[in-house]
Amino acid sequence: MPRTVWYPGHMAKGSRKIRELSDRLDVVVEVRDSRAPASTSSPLMKSLAKIKPVIRVLSRKDLADPEKLSLWLDSLKFSHAADLRKREGLPQIRRAIMKFKPPHREVRFAVVGIPNVGKSLLLNMLAGKSSANVGNIPGVTKSVSWYRSGDMLIVDSPGILDPHAEPGAHMMLSWLGCAKAEVVGGWENAALSLVKFLTRSGMAGILPVDTDGNPEAALELMGRKWGCLVSGGKVNTELAGRKFIEAFSSGRLGRFCLEIPGGERAADGSAGCFRDDEAASFV
């Protein structure tokens, strides 16, 4: 049985530290991925949102389906979409944070979220310098650190997942690069389940090959298309799975949203993704 939850020591420690320093914060900035704003919400917010004001940043606006993203912006309070690489959305986020600045000192806030959603990049963009390490794999930031920039005192924190998540809840996160594929049974497993999801939710058009709905056949075709072959001309399905997930999560296959806000349908009338309350039940 593969493990389905990834919760190394630095997540437990980071979670404890953020709770300890929360008294010193004026506001919490939670970063989620625009392509799955429900599944990429931070487990820390269950407790933090009760004691601190929250500003939500939906990163990777550039990779999301614009119509579905606008539904999320309407339904999530205090949310701002951003393309952090191009600094789009940054002035609005900065203004929202500055509203919490006390007159006598700098504004103090923590950037929190699950792994690889853009927390450290947001911090660097707000600070105007490359202070925190950024990288496109989950688990780059391992500890809680303070950064000072002008009238902001910012805490960067490690990406933290829910240790009590349902089995399979991290599957969608692995498609987005926010959880490791090893934890959900490897790249092939993650890829097969993504093909199944896209086919079931009317999004098969984003697949790089024509498929009749058979996930194994689709992965085989992708492997041949991308030259993922081993001796005897067989397809290396683990490698094909990895290439597929990487192409999907980086946006090379097109823009998408995997979820829409609870109970509503996408603006085009399609059921093109799961409602947020269904998100964990697809595997």
Minimum distance, C-beta of residue 85 to ligand GTP, in the bound complex (Å)? 5
> Is residue 141 close enough to count as binding Mg ion by CB under 5 A?
yes
Residue 136 interacting entry, from ligand GTP, Mg ion, none, C-beta within 5 to 8 Å by type = ligand GTP
Q: Which stretch binds ligand GTP (CB under 6 A): 15-23, 39-47, 59-67, 232-240?
A: 59-67
> Is residue 42 close enough to count as binding Mg ion by CB under 5 A?
no
Q: Which stretch binds Mg ion (CB under 5 A): 13-21, 50-58, 114-122, 219-227?
A: 114-122
**CA separation (Å) from 201 to 72, 102, 196, 197, 270?**
18, 47, 9, 6, 9
Minimum distance, C-beta of residue 217 to ligand GTP, in the bound complex (Å)? 31
DSSP 248: H
Nearer of residues 119 and 170 to Mg ion, judged by Cβ:
119
> Is residue 85 close enough to count as binding ligand GTP by CB under 6 A?
yes
Minimum distance, C-beta of residue 112 to ligand GTP, in the bound complex (Å)? 9
List the one residue from 45, 49, 54, 140 that touches ligand GTP (CB under 6 A). 140
Q: Which stretch binds ligand GTP (CB under 6 A): 48-56, 114-122, 167-175, 231-239?
A: 114-122
User: What residue has token string 């498929």?
Assistant: 211
Of residues 156-185, those binding ligand GTP (CB under 6 A): 158-159
Burial class (CB in 10 A: 0-12, 13-18, 19+), 227: exposed
Burial class (CB in 10 A: 0-12, 13-18, 19+), 252: exposed
Nearer of residues 45 and 229 to ligand GTP, judged by Cβ:
45
- For residue 82, give the nearest of 67, 66, 93 by alpha carbon: 93
List the one residue from 120, 124, 189, 237 that touches Mg ion (CB under 5 A). 120
> Is residue 63 close enough to count as binding ligand GTP by CB under 6 A?
yes
List the one residue from 79, 120, 201, 249 that touches ligand GTP (CB under 6 A). 120
Radius of gyration of the chain (CA): 19
Distance of CA 177 to the CA centre of its chain: 7
Nearer of residues 81 and 260 to ligand GTP, judged by Cβ:
81
Which strand (E) or helix (H) includes residue 215?
helix 215-225
Burial class (CB in 10 A: 0-12, 13-18, 19+), 42: buried
The whole-angstrom separation of Cα 67 and Cα 72 is 9
Q: Judging by DSSP bridges, how do beta strands 152-156 and 145-149 pair with one another? A: antiparallel
Q: How many residues bind ligand GTP (CB under 6 A)?
A: 25
The whole-angstrom separation of Cα 239 and Cα 230 is 10
Residues 159, 115 contacting (CB under 8 angstroms):
yes
> Is residue 15 close enough to count as binding ligand GTP by CB under 6 A?
no
Contact positions toward Mg ion, by CB under 5 A? 119-120, 140-141
Contact positions toward ligand GTP, by CB under 6 A? 59-60, 62-63, 82-85, 113, 115-121, 134-136, 138-141, 158-159
